[in-house]
Structure 1
C-alpha cells in the first residue's frame, strides 16, 4: 500500500512541477507583454541618468518600452522605442558658466538678504524652461503619434513641469501613471499624493537646513514653502494649461487635479542619507537605482596616475551641468593653491584639458572621468563635489568622504544632509578662500571622517532590497493592479 502511494506520488510530482513551471511562464508572459510609456521632458542630463537604468532593465525583462527624452540611449534593445526630443531645446550639458555665480553673489550681497533671494533666482529659469518646452512639444508629431497608442503604465518625470500630464489627458490615455523624481520631492509634489510637508521640520529641497531648524529657519522655510507652491501654480501649471488649451482648442481640467491620479512616486532618495520624511505607501525611496555595477574601464593614464600615488588620490568634479573650465582665474588660483598643499594627488574634471590630461604638480586635469568607477577605486580616498544627488549617492555607496561646494538647486540641502550624517563637510563657493578650502579638505581627509563615511555607507547600503529591484517591482506591481493600488488618498480627474 505504502509503495503504491509513493509510486503515485512520484508520478504526480513531475506533473506538478510542470504545472508550476507553466504557471510561472504564463505569469511572466503577462508581465513581459506590458507596454510602457516613459515621458521625460527635462533637458538636464543628470536627471535622465537616474532613469535610464530602470528603463533599460524593464526592457531587458521583456516589456515593450517607448521613451520620450532629450537624451536617447545608445544601442537600445529591439523592444525599446525612442522618441527623441533633441533639437526642441538646448540640452543641459556643461552649460553653466561659473562667472555667473560671482556676479550673482556680488548682487545679492548688496541686498543683504542673499540666501532667500538666491533661492528664488535659482528657480525662476525652471519656469521659463518648462513653458518653452511645453510650447514646442504640443506640436511635436512624433510625440503625438506615440501618445495615440495604448499603454499599461506611464512613467512621467516629476520636476518642473506638468505639461505631459495635460497631454496624457488630451490624448485620452487611460493607463495609470507613476511619477519619477531624480531629486528629493519638490515643494509642489507632496500635495498631489497627500504627503505632509510641514515646514517646521521638513526642509525645502532648495534650503540648506536639516529637520533640526531654529525658529528663524522654520520661518524662512515656511515662507518659501508657500512661495514655491504659488510660484509653480501660476508661473508653470496655469501657463502650461493655457498652452495646451490653445493648441487643442478645448478646455482641460486643472493640471493640479490631473496630477492627483498618480499611483506611485519613485523618489531618488534614501532616508539614511537624505533625512527622514513623513511618507505614504505610494512614495517609494529608490535612491541609488542609477548605480552601474558593471564597472566601466578606467583610462590607462588615469589608472597609472592612481597606482603611482603614495598617499592616495582626491577626486574633484562639479558634475555634468557646470563647465568647470569657466571658473574665474582668482577662484582657480584659490583652488590650485589649496590643492597643491596636499600630500595626496588630485584628479580634476576640467573640460579644457589635453586628451590624456594636463599634469601640474600633484593635480591632473582631465576632460572626462568615469566617476563611479574612480570612487570605487581603493586609491581614491575623498571626493570634492558640488552636492548633486548622483555624485552624493555614488560617494556614499563607495564610502568616500566629501568636501561639498554647493551652487544651486538641491545642492545646499544635500551638503547639509551629508554634514549631518558625517559623510562630509560643506564649504561656501561665494566665501571660499584658500584657508577655508584647505581646512575643509584636511577635515574630510582625517581618519575620523574617512571612518565616519564608511559607516554611513554601510548604513545606506543596509536595506531590504536593491534600489533598482525595488523600482522595477513597483512598476510591475502597478502594471499588475493598475488603478486598484490604494497608494494615494486623494481623488484626481480621470480621463473620460
Structure 2
C-alpha cells in the first residue's frame, strides 16, 4: 500500500515538473486561422501543460488548466463577407488580364495593415492581455501573419522564452527569412500568385516583383508603424520588429509538400498540414444522407466557404453554374445560404444552408469537389482523396489551386474567367478515371507520414520547451545580409581580380609586342 502511494505521489511530482507554462498569442481576427491552432492548444492542455491563450475566439469547453484571455471588444472580427462586385469593375485598364492580376495581388493585402494597427493600438492597453504578459512562461506560441505587435510586447515585458511561430497558410513573403529560409522566386511562387513551381520568364519576373513588393509593404506599412505605437505607449525604444522576428526558435506551417509543393527548407520549419482535421465522425443530416444514397452516378460537392456568400454571386454567374451542373448525370450538393431548412431541390441540385464538409468528402458517394481554394477545405479534400475543380477568388487561393493542379488532382478555373463551357470541361477532367486515380494516389502520399500532424506539432512544441534556445534549428542565412547570401561580395571580388589580371596581361603583352615589333622596325630602318 505504501509503495503504491509513493509511486502515485512520484507520478504527480513528475507530471507537474514536466508541465510547462505556455502562452499563445493570436491577434488576428479571422476565425479560420484559429481553427487551425485550436487542436494544438487543447491537446497541449490535455497533456498537462498550463496554457494561456490570447485570441478573439475563446475555446469551447476548455480543459481545466486552459486559460482564455479574450480580445473580443477591442476590434471587430475579420472579413465576414467578400464582396464579389469588385470583379465587375467597369475600369477598362483592369480588363487587361495581367494588369488586373497584378493590381489584385498588390491591393488585396492592404486591408491587413489597417486591421493589424487597429488591434495593436488597442491591445497595448487591454488589461487582460497586460496581466497575462506579466507571467512567467516556458514557451510562447504566436501567429505569424499580418502583425508583429506581440513580438514587441514580449520584449517590453521581458519575456525571453523561446518563440514558436504558427502559420495557418504557407510561408509568407516576409516570414521565411526569420528562420533562414530563402524562397527563391525562380521556383517558389508567392502565395498570392497563380503560378506553379515551373514558371515562364515573364511569370518569374512578376513573381520576383510581387515578392519584393510584399516585403517592403510589410516592413513599412506594419512593422515600422507597430514599433512606433509601442514606443509611444511605453516611452521606450525597442529593437526593430524585423530583428525581433529573427528570435523564432521554430516555425510550424499548415502545409504538406504532397499538396503544397516542395521548397528548400531548414529543420526549424515543420510541416503540420492537416493538424486541424477532426477524425471523429459527425452525423450527416438524414435528408442529405438520403440524397447521397439515392444517387446512381455519385454526387459532386460545391462550396465556396464561409466568406463567399451565395447572395453576392451575380445572377448571370449563378445561371452559368446552374446550367453547367444541370447537364451532368451526377447529383450536386451546393452550400447555398438562402435554401430551406432541409435543403432546396431543383433538378439534380440540392442547395443546403450548411453541410458537414469533411464528413461528406469522405463519403463513398461523393466523387468530386468544387471549391474556392481555401487551404482548410483543400486539406480536407486531399485527405479524403477527392479530385477538385478550384475556383479561386483572393488571398492564397490562387497559389493553393495552382499547387493542387500541379500535384495532378485538380484543375483551375479562376472566378473572373468562369463560364459554362469552362466549368463543364473542368468537371469532365476531374471526373475522369485518371484524375480520380491521381487524387487517391496524392491522398495516400499525403497521409503517409512518420506521425499524425497534430502529434508532430505537439512533439516539436515540447521539444522547444525541453531545449529552449540551445537547440538551434535555423539556417545561418538568417543572420546574413542579402549581398552575402547571394555571394555578391565574392562575385565582385572575383570580377575585380579578373579585371586586374586582364589589365596586367594586357599591359605585359602590349610591352612585349611593342618591344618585339619596335626592334624589328628599327632593324628595317637601319
TM-score normalised over the length of structure 2: 0.87
Say which of 136, 139, 152 aligns to 1:150.
136
Say which of 30, 42, 60 aligns to 2:17.
30
User: What's the offset of the Cα at 1:75?
Assistant: 1.2
Once the two structures are superposed, the pairs formed by residues 434-445 of structure 1 within 5 Å of their partners are: 434-445=420-431
1:62 aligns with 2:48: yes
Say which of 6, 19, 43 aligns to 2:29.
43
1:380 aligns with 2:366: yes
Say which of 72, 78, 102 aligns to 2:58.
72
What is the DSSP-based 3-state SS (H/G/I as helix, E as strand, rest coil) of the residue aligned with 1:258? helix
Is the 1:94–1:323 contact (alpha carbons within 8 Å) kept by the matching residues of 2? Answer: no
Is the 1:178–1:265 contact (alpha carbons within 8 Å) kept by the matching residues of 2? Answer: yes
Say which of 416, 421, 432 aligns to 1:430.
416
**Alignment CA distance shift 1:185-1:71 (3 Å):** same
User: What's the offset of the Cα at 1:89?
Assistant: 2.4
Q: Higher Cα Rg: structure 1 or 2?
A: 2
User: What's the offset of the Cα at 1:27?
Assistant: 5.1
User: What's the offset of the Cα at 1:476?
Assistant: 0.5
User: What's the offset of the Cα at 1:67?
Assistant: 1.0
What is the DSSP-based 3-state SS (H/G/I as helix, E as strand, rest coil) of the residue aligned with 2:54? strand
What is the DSSP-based 3-state SS (H/G/I as helix, E as strand, rest coil) of the residue aligned with 1:430? helix
Say which of 470, 486, 489 aligns to 1:484.
470
Alignment correspondent of 1:407: 393
Alignment correspondent of 2:175: 189
User: What's the offset of the Cα at 1:123?
Assistant: 1.2
Alignment correspondent of 1:452: 438
**Alignment CA distance shift 1:111-1:213 (3 Å):** closer
Paired with 1:326 and 1:196, the residues of 2 have a C-alpha distance of 39
**Alignment CA distance shift 1:78-1:22 (3 Å):** closer
Once the two structures are superposed, the pairs formed by residues 196-211 of structure 1 within 5 Å of their partners are: 196-211=182-197
What is the DSSP-based 3-state SS (H/G/I as helix, E as strand, rest coil) of the residue aligned with 1:203? coil
Paired with 1:304 and 1:247, the residues of 2 have a C-alpha distance of 60
Paired with 2:472 and 2:162, the residues of 1 have a C-alpha distance of 12
User: What's the offset of the Cα at 1:208?
Assistant: 1.2
1:287 aligns with 2:269: no
Paired with 2:133 and 2:67, the residues of 1 have a C-alpha distance of 13
User: What's the offset of the Cα at 1:243?
Assistant: 1.1
Alignment correspondent of 2:250: 264
User: What's the offset of the Cα at 1:102?
Assistant: 2.7
Paired with 1:187 and 1:381, the residues of 2 have a C-alpha distance of 35
What is the DSSP-based 3-state SS (H/G/I as helix, E as strand, rest coil) of the residue aligned with 1:343? coil
Say which of 78, 90, 99 aligns to 2:85.
99
What is the DSSP-based 3-state SS (H/G/I as helix, E as strand, rest coil) of the residue aligned with 2:109? helix
What is the DSSP-based 3-state SS (H/G/I as helix, E as strand, rest coil) of the residue aligned with 1:174? coil
Paired with 1:473 and 1:104, the residues of 2 have a C-alpha distance of 53
Once the two structures are superposed, the pairs formed by residues 89-238 of structure 1 within 5 Å of their partners are: 89-92=75-78, 94-103=80-89, 108-109=94-95, 113-238=99-224
Is the 1:317–1:386 contact (alpha carbons within 8 Å) kept by the matching residues of 2? Answer: yes
Is the 2:391–2:415 contact (alpha carbons within 8 Å) kept by the matching residues of 1? Answer: yes
Write out per-residue CA displacement over residues 325-383 of structure 1, whole angstroms, 9 at most, x where no aligned residue.
21111111111111111111111111222222221111111111111111111111111
Alignment correspondent of 2:384: 398
**Alignment CA distance shift 1:106-1:450 (3 Å):** farther
Paired with 1:386 and 1:58, the residues of 2 have a C-alpha distance of 32
The total of aligned residue pairs comes to 476
In terms of mean alpha carbon deviation, does 427-436 or 361-370 score higher?
361-370
TM-score normalised over the length of structure 1: 0.92
Paired with 2:269 and 2:211, the residues of 1 have a C-alpha distance of 20
Say which of 300, 311, 335 aligns to 1:325.
311
Paired with 2:469 and 2:5, the residues of 1 have a C-alpha distance of 33
User: What's the offset of the Cα at 1:18?
Assistant: 12
Paired with 2:58 and 2:8, the residues of 1 have a C-alpha distance of 37
Paired with 1:281 and 1:43, the residues of 2 have a C-alpha distance of 30
**Alignment CA distance shift 1:26-1:272 (3 Å):** farther
Write out per-residue CA displacement over residues 184-229 of structure 1, whole angstroms, 9 at most, x where no aligned residue.
0000001111111111111111111122111111111111111111
Unaligned stretches of 5+ in structure 2? 481-526
User: What's the offset of the Cα at 1:396?
Assistant: 0.4
Paired with 1:236 and 1:441, the residues of 2 have a C-alpha distance of 42
Paired with 1:369 and 1:111, the residues of 2 have a C-alpha distance of 35
Alignment correspondent of 2:503: none
Unaligned stretches of 5+ in structure 1? 1-14
Paired with 1:280 and 1:21, the residues of 2 have a C-alpha distance of 42
- Using CA pairs under 8 Å that are at least 6 residues apart, name the structure with larger relative contact order, 1 or 2: 1
Is the 2:93–2:99 contact (alpha carbons within 8 Å) kept by the matching residues of 1? Answer: no
Paired with 2:174 and 2:466, the residues of 1 have a C-alpha distance of 29
Write out per-residue CA displacement over residues 94-137 of structure 1, whole angstroms, 9 at most, x where no aligned residue.
42122233338876225861111110011111111111111121
